[in-house]
């Protein structure tokens, strides 16, 4: 049995809402680097059973790929507490994937939310006098 979950437009929101930490692999059947990354991703899923490892087939789920602006595959995205904290195209080697997961685990989500709020406030301010 696979340690990964097939994500579709029907279950995506629920999966991200119900789980604190979700990794998402955007891939396609015809993509060589995706096929090379698949066993690395599968092993990471087995090594981290407390996390949700999802896969989005960009051919079957073009709306999800478009919603996240996926330009190239594979693209790995990490969502913590419904906030995308990491997104990078390219097949990561096992050591890099392990490192990224470790960094994402250590994130202070309160600090991340505060930074997002500050960025949004600056964008909304748009250089206008307060």
Please list, in sequence order, all residues whose beta carbon lies within 8 angstroms of the beta carbon of residue 70, skipping any fewer than 6 positions away. 26, 58, 89
Q: What tokens were used for 60?
A: 């079957």
User: Which of 16, 22, 31, 70 is the catalytic position?
Assistant: 31
Cα 98 to Cα 105: distance, rounded to the nearest angstrom: 11
Given a contact cutoff of 8 angstroms between Cβ atoms, the answer to whether 97 and 89 are in contact is no
Catalytic annotation on 34?
Answer: yes
Check whether the bond before 74 is cis (ω within 30° of 0). Answer: yes
Backbone angles phi, psi at 124, to 5 degrees: -70, -30
β-sheet bridge partners, residue 27: 57
User: Which helix (H) or strand (E) is 78 found in, with range?
Assistant: strand 75-80
Catalytic annotation on 31?
Answer: yes
User: Which of 23, 34, 70, 73 is the catalytic position?
Assistant: 34
Catalytic residue IDs:
31, 34
């Amino acid at each position: 049995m696979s340690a990964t979950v097939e994500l579709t437009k029907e279950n995506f929101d629920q999966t991200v809402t119900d789980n604190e930490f979700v990794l998402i692999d955007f891939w396609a059947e015809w993509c060589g680097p995706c096929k090379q990354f698949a066993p690395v991703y599968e092993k990471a899923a087995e090594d981290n059973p407390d996390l949700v490892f999802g896969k989005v087939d960009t051919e079957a789920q073009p709306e999800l790929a478009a919603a996240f602006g996926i330009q190239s595959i594979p693209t790995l995205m990490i969502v913590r507490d419904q906030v995308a904290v990491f997104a990078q195209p390219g097949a990561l080697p096992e050591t890099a994937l392990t490192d990224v997961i470790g960094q994402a685990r250590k994130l202070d989500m309160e600090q991340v939310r505060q930074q997002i709020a500050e960025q949004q406030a600056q964008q909304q301010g748009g250089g206008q006098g307060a």
